[in-house]
């Protein structure tokens, strides 16, 4: 076809295209010294995953800019030991999180850092050992591995003493406590010990939440060292956890929200616990950003799209939402930094 005519010389008439957007791919540009916000803007000229990240920045920025929006953040996976701890704590301190739903594992590793423990890089290249032999050697050296992050086991002993001396005793004096109250007591104790001992590392996520009256919900706390230690302490004390106690305040928070948004980092129980809250409220999420490594083709919860959640009434029909497929340790800092840049804070 040339000069608006087809091969037979007939005048070409463009068909009606209801699903076609006259917005040509613009090709991303990069340059020395560009900001992360400028990079996110350039992603908007591209397709596939880059376009999704650009949309995530747009939606997350709008979510945070909406003063009437109640923001729920879910955090699954090994986010604290792999270096995402400060990002989450800063979001809480800056008023960008109204409720955090996370795993007992993230709270475990958060507390370890708050009281002086550290996660470490390590030499993962051992040509003389296969993977099994390498992990057997780590076992002998009393080092736990989380992907390419390493944690000496003595830090778990440090955590156990902290929990038994500072966290569990006041809770055992009550008839029963909700898990959110357990998390608040953990945050209080982390902050106090961090300050008293002059620990260089920040007091962390649980401390930031306690100091800013942000509730932490941990619906599967038993599935962690934190929960395991709570169970062990309950065998020698009157500590009793009420797993249903958190449902009312969490539901009330969603019920009272003028608008609601969710930032879902990873999947699993925190993701579902965050989304299912809207099933018992008149409203639904108006904004949703999900970062996950799992595709929807597996049929698993962690890969389920937010569009699917709309069919359940967890998102409004008009909600702005996007699912970003990829490593959250790469995408979370980028999305948060770009949104902060746009907001000027």
115 three-state secondary structure: coil
* Inter-CA distances, 211 with 67, 106, 197, Å: 21, 18, 18
Work out the number of other CB atoms within 10 angstroms of the CB of residue 37. 18
Query: What residues does 242 pair with on adjacent strands?
Result: 178
Active-site residue, from 188, 271, 314, 345: 314
Distance CA(216)–CA(231), nearest Å, equals 19
How far is Cα 62 from Cα 272, in angstroms, rounded to an integer? 23
Cα 82 from Cα 222, distance rounded (Å):
22
CA 291 to CA 295: how far, in whole Å? 11
9 burial class (0-12, 13-18, 19+ CB within 10 angstroms)?
A: exposed
CB contact at 8 A, 151 and 121: no
Q: Is 314 a catalytic residue?
A: yes
CA distance 185 to 171: 8
The pair of three-digit structure tokens given for residue 27, joined into one six-digit string: 């090709």
DSSP 280-301: GSS--EEEEEEEES--GGG--G
User: Is the Cβ–Cβ distance between 189 and 162 less than 8 Å?
Assistant: yes
Q: Which residues contact 331 (CB under 8 A, 6 or more apart)?
A: 53, 56, 291, 324
Torsions phi, psi for 227 (to 5 deg): -65, -40
- H or E element at residue 100: strand 99-102
Catalytic residues, which ones?
Answer: 314
């Amino acid at each position: 076809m040339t000069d608006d005519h087809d091969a037979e010389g007939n005048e070409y008439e463009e068909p009606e295209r209801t699903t076609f957007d006259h917005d040509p791919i613009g090709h991303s540009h990069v340059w020395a010294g560009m900001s992360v916000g400028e990079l996110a803007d350039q992603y908007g000229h591209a397709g596939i995953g880059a376009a999704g990240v650009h949309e995530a920045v747009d939606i997350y920025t709008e979510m945070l800019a909406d003063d009437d929006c109640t923001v729920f953040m879910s955090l699954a996976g090994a986010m604290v030991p792999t270096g995402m701890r400060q990002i989450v704590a800063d979001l809480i301190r800056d008023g960008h999180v109204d409720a955090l739903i996370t795993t007992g594992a993230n709270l475990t590793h958060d507390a370890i850092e708050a009281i002086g423990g550290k996660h470490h890089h390590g030499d993962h290249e051992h040509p003389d050992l296969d993977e099994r032999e390498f992990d057997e050697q780590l076992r002998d050296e009393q080092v736990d591995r989380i992907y390419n992050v390493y944690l000496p086991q003595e830090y778990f002993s440090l955590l156990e003493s902290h929990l038994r001396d500072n966290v569990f005793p006041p809770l055992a004096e009550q008839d029963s406590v909700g898990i959110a109250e357990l998390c608040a007591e953990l945050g209080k104790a982390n902050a106090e010990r961090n300050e008293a001992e002059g620990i260089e590392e920040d007091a962390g996520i649980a401390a930031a939440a306690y100091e800013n009256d942000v509730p932490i919900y941990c619906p599967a706390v038993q599935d962690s060292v934190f929960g395991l230690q709570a169970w062990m302490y309950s065998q020698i004390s009157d500590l009793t956890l009420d797993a249903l106690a958190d449902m009312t305040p969490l539901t009330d928070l969603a019920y009272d929200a003028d608008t609601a948004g969710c930032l879902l980092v990873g999947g699993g129980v925190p993701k579902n616990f965050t989304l299912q809250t809207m099933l018992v409220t008149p409203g639904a999420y108006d904004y949703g950003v999900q970062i996950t490594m799992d595709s929807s083709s597996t049929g698993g919860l962690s890969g389920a799209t937010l569009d699917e959640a709309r069919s359940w009434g967890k998102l409004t029909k008009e909600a702005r939402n996007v699912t970003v497929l990829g490593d959250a340790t790469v995408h979370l800092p980028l999305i948060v930094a770009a949104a902060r840049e746009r907001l000027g804070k």
